[in-house]
Amino acid sequence: MKSIVAGAAAAAVTLGMAAAAQAADISGAGSSFIYPVFAKWGEAYKKETGIGLNYQSIGSGGGIKQVTAKTVTFGASDKPLDDKYLADHGMTQFPMISGGIVMMYNVKGIKPGQLILDGKTVEAIYMGKITMWNDKAIAALNPGVKLPNQPIVVVHRSDGSGTTFNFTNYLSKISKDWADEIGSDTAVEWPTGLGAKGSEGVANTVKQTAGAIGYNEYAYVIQNKLGYARMINKEGKVVEPSLATFASAAANADWAGAHNFRVIITDQPGAKSWPIAASTWVIIHTDPKDPAAAKQALTFFDWAYKNGKPEAKALDYVAIPDNVVKLIENSWSSIKHEGKPVYALTH
């Protein structure tokens, strides 16, 4: 896994092959949240079909720009696009995966999972109101944990990021001050902290900086062997980041009832629900300029939904339920070229 994260730091990352993408390969760009599982899927799909996946892990904002400009076949974003943007640019979207965003830290003497945080404390840290690791608010959540008299180094994304959107969406839900002063988006005016590019950049910065804290997709935390906090959720329960707690949060998602599959799964109810859960959407044109490339991409997504669950589970991602996959694939009938569906369902 370590090589996966390290490789994602490049501006363009080619999955499933060492050389530059061939004409037959599938092109995509965007979310670094989904990158670890795309890497695994791309590798397996290449072995099975001979077709590679050329995916640029550049952040959701970059992916939206590239697919809008039609420089890639699909984009991937952890923030769903609104109806107007989709309509104006002739695009559709559908969820590909769900998972969890975790508070990662580099504090000597505090083991992974030993620290407990809640939303209010995280918000105060990112507001610059809590600046030391032995602050009384952190100490109150962690009786018996020896907290150092050490400054907290706040790390956040510097690029347009769906992970940032979900993190700030969560903070906006639990703090009116955050909602009013900072808000929720792929990029915000941070009150404090160091910026780092991509999930990879945040992980590396936290790893290299004593006293640092950052937010990231769980796979990057585990791969970099960093500390991670347990969290107090909406029900007041202390929960561990895991496939089970991410799945509990995702279970509340009403994909079937959501227009354009737009569901945000932060701060969900449930005793076992992880508070900062998130999803990734694939974005693709409804009238693609290269219908053969679009068909190839949809064929890959179909394969991933049906065959990629073991890889997703191994990385603690939550697979999209089968009944929702059926709705998603039925929605692909809107993707047409010269009036004909690009992808014909065979099931």
Q: Are 103 and 156 in contact (CB under 8 A)?
A: no
- The pLDDT score that the predictor gives to residue 291 is 95
pLDDT at 7 over 80: no
Confidence of residue 345 (pLDDT cuts 50, 70, 90): low
- Which H helix or E strand runs over 42? helix 35-49
Q: Are 114 and 141 in contact (CB under 8 A)?
A: no
- The pLDDT score that the predictor gives to residue 344 is 77
pLDDT per residue as tens digits for the range 287-302: 999 999 999 999 999 9
Residues near 3 by beta carbon (within 8 Å), at least 6 away in sequence: none
Mean pLDDT, rounded, for 312-328: 95
Mean pLDDT, rounded, for 313-332: 95
- The pLDDT score that the predictor gives to residue 2 is 40
pLDDT at 332 over 60: yes
Confidence of residue 10 (pLDDT cuts 50, 70, 90): very low
pLDDT at 3 over 90: no
Q: Which two tokens stand for residue 251?
A: 């279970």
Looking only at the bridges linking them, the beta strands covering 194-196 and 153-157 are parallel
pLDDT per residue as tens digits for the range 215-237: 999 999 998 999 999 999 999 99
- The pLDDT score that the predictor gives to residue 6 is 44
- Percentage of residues in the chain having pLDDT higher than 90: 89
pLDDT per residue as tens digits for the range 261-276: 999 999 999 999 999 9
Mean pLDDT, rounded, for 144-158: 97
pLDDT at 8 over 70: no
Task: Provide the 3-class DSSP secondary structure of residue 13.
Answer: coil
Residue in the structure block whose two tokens are 């799945």: 247
The residue among 222, 243, 239, 242 whose CA lies nearest residue 230 is: 239
What domains does the chain contain, in order, with CATH numbers? 2-99+279-341 (3.40.190.10), 101-253 (3.40.190.10)
pLDDT per residue as tens digits for the range 71-101: 999 999 999 999 999 999 999 999 999 999 9
- The pLDDT score that the predictor gives to residue 252 is 86
Mean pLDDT, rounded, for 147-176: 97
Q: What is the mean pLDDT of the chain?
A: 92
Secondary structure (H, E, C), 184-234: CCCCCCCCCCEEECHHHHHHHHHHHCCCEEEEEEHHHHHHCCCEECEEECC
- The pLDDT score that the predictor gives to residue 20 is 39
